[in-house]
Amino acid sequence: MNNTVRPWIEIDWGSFDPWRVQGPLHHHVMDHPLLQWDALMELVKRLEPLGQFRSHTSEAAAGTSFNDAPRLFRNRKSATDIITNLSDAHAWMSLLNVQTDAVYRTLVDEILDSVRPGIEAADPGMSYRAGWIFLASPNTVTPFHFDTEHSFILQLQGHKTLYVWDPQDLEAASEHARDLFHAYHDRSLLVWREELRERAHKFRLEPGVGAYMPCTSPHMVENDDNPSLTMSFTFYTDSTRRNAGLHRVHAQLRKLGITPAPIGRHSALDVAAYGLYQGRHAISRGLKRLGGKPIEREDAPYAYANLI
């Protein structure tokens, strides 16, 4: 098949389910000119002065707190040093929100536009588009964690193993852990246990292979004995915004001593709770607007740069 017609990411849209982990997916995003090392070096030079990178040393383990890893295993190398000598940098680094860079926004748009019709058919309302580029030295682990967005994770260079748990797996991440995360970006109730490996979807990633991970699918990545380059394309939809809103309401109920039923068990209660959330949210936004405060909208076309 000719590259001019080959889709960037190959997906069976007929069976696509936005709330199911899917993979291995085949892609050729590593062929994109903006994902070659010289272009990435220029990107690092632009993002580093803005502080748009996150790093820790290779000492971090699967059970290390993802939120605290940069503090617990502080990397003292510059972002430029890491990309220049990734094989020996003994580091993990993420370039954050690359869609805020005018050049890399075109990459995020190109890839997400290519899958958007399929996504929208199953899960409308794509928003908050973002791109994240991960560089890892040999034998480096990405600690167990989850994220708020739906995500395509695509391997560009090197081999690694991706473990992903279903977003409905309450053994891997409880409802309470998800409530806390959506309400406060707090991952402290997401706790790694070795036995979780048996419950995971396990993907061997190599250049041209990736996976789709729904919102709050816990994941952990173990790099092989090679430098690795990976990119994730992330977004919200109507259903992720609703799911996040419900978890935030449930976090408030827990503060009142009420243990809410898991989302999806009582749909009428979910409808009422989300209506309440939307009403409160609209009032809060109106007050901020009156006070001249900035308003961050989850239905904005692109993610903002201040959250990691």
181/277 with CB nearer Fe ion: 181
The answer to whether 170 and 244 are in contact (CB under 8 A) is no
The answer to whether 302 and 99 are in contact (CB under 8 A) is yes
Single residue of 101, 123, 147, 149 touching Fe ion by CB under 5 A: 147
Helix H or strand E encompassing 56? strand 53-57
71/76 with CB nearer Fe ion: 71
The mark string for 199-238 relative to Fe ion (x by CB under 5 A, - otherwise) is ----------------------------------------
Which amino acid is present at 301?
P
DSSP letter string over 108-146? HHHHHHHHHHHHHHHS---EEEEEEEEEE-TT-EEEEE-
Stretch binding Fe ion (CB under 5 A), from 133-141, 144-152, 183-191, 195-203: 144-152
69/89 with CB nearer Fe ion: 69
| Residue 103 Cβ vs Fe ion, minimum distance, rounded to whole Å | 23
Stretch binding Fe ion (CB under 5 A), from 46-54, 72-80, 146-154, 293-301: 146-154
147/166 with CB nearer Fe ion: 147
**What's the residue count for the chain?**
308
Stretch binding Fe ion (CB under 5 A), from 19-27, 80-88, 147-155, 189-197: 147-155
83/211 with CB nearer Fe ion: 211
DSSP letter string over 158-190? S-EEEEE--TT-TTTS-HHHHHHHHHH---TT-
| Residue 147 Cβ vs Fe ion, minimum distance, rounded to whole Å | 4
Reading the block at residue 232, the tokens are 């994730």
Calculate ∠ Cα 180-146-246, nearest 5°. 40
Stretch binding Fe ion (CB under 5 A), from 34-42, 142-150, 161-169, 238-246: 142-150
- Contact set with Fe ion (CB under 5 A): 147
